[in-house]
Homo-oligomer: A and B are copies of this chain.
Amino acid sequence: MDRFIVTIGRQFGSGGRSIGEKLAEKLGVKFYDKELISIAAKESGMAPEVFEGVDEKATNSLLYSLSMGMYSFGSGFPTMGDLPVNDKLYLLQHKIIKEIAERENCVIVGRCADYVLREDSNCVNIFFYANMEYRKEQSVKKHGIDEDRAEHIINKTDKSRANYYSFYSGQKWGMAENYDLCIDSSKISEENIVDLIAEYIKMR
């Protein structure tokens, strides 16, 4: 099989992580989701806990700081030490995603990986979504979230993901045209979705 990097964007509760894991297993490649935080922590020497709280959350500090010329003094370049932890994590994950994509076939979930790798023709960018009822069920089942709070948590998480994606990529989260393939994961089983994507990768 040719080179490929599958990137996955997903609404909360749509099963994106679970489908990604199954897909990686079927294709015999590595799977990256929270793993990207551990690598970033290791490379930066920071505690993983520091990054966990800000993962896939945007500040507007980087753009603001750059536009205000806050980094144009001194060396003329921002140093990682100056940046808020969100932006530091984004830049570290950006670098790590690029290195992984150069090195191996893999499946990467979230972190604007589709945008980070936008020049790489080996990428297959996929977006998963589903109706609220399905996502509520999945949130209770897979994440152990209280049924009464599920909708609130779904909306809050998706808003945060949308902001993160739009802040770092300048694109609208969930617009079909940012991806190669968008799939409503409530309509066919996760196993069938995995088979369909594996078929798609072969067709390229």
Interface residues of A (CB under 8 A from B): 11, 127, 129, 174-177, 179-184, 187-189, 192, 195-196, 199-200, 203-204
Contact = CB atoms under 8 A, between A and B. Distances in A.
Contact of A180 (B184, B189, B199): B184
Copies of this protein, total: 2
B196 A200 contact: yes
Given A176-B176, A176-B182, A181-B183, 16 more contacts: A11-B177, A129-B176, A174-B176, A175-B176, A177-B184, A179-B184, A180-B187, A181-B181, A181-B182, A182-B183, A187-B204, A188-B203, A188-B204, A189-B203, A196-B196, A196-B199
Contacts of A183: 180-182
A26 B185 CA distance: 25
A192 B204 CA distance: 9
A191 to B, nearest CB: 9
A26 B26 CA distance: 29
The interface centre, meaning the residue of A182, A183, A196 with most chain B CB atoms within 10 A of its CB, is: A182
A202 B127 CA distance: 21
The interface centre, meaning the residue of A11, A192, A195 with most chain B CB atoms within 10 A of its CB, is: A192
Nearest to A127: B176
A184 B125 CA distance: 10
21 contacts: A127-B182, A129-B176, A174-B175, A174-B176, A174-B177, A175-B176, A176-B176, A176-B179, A176-B182, A177-B184, A180-B183, A180-B184, A180-B187, A181-B181, A182-B183, A189-B203, A192-B203, A195-B203, A196-B199, A196-B200, A199-B199
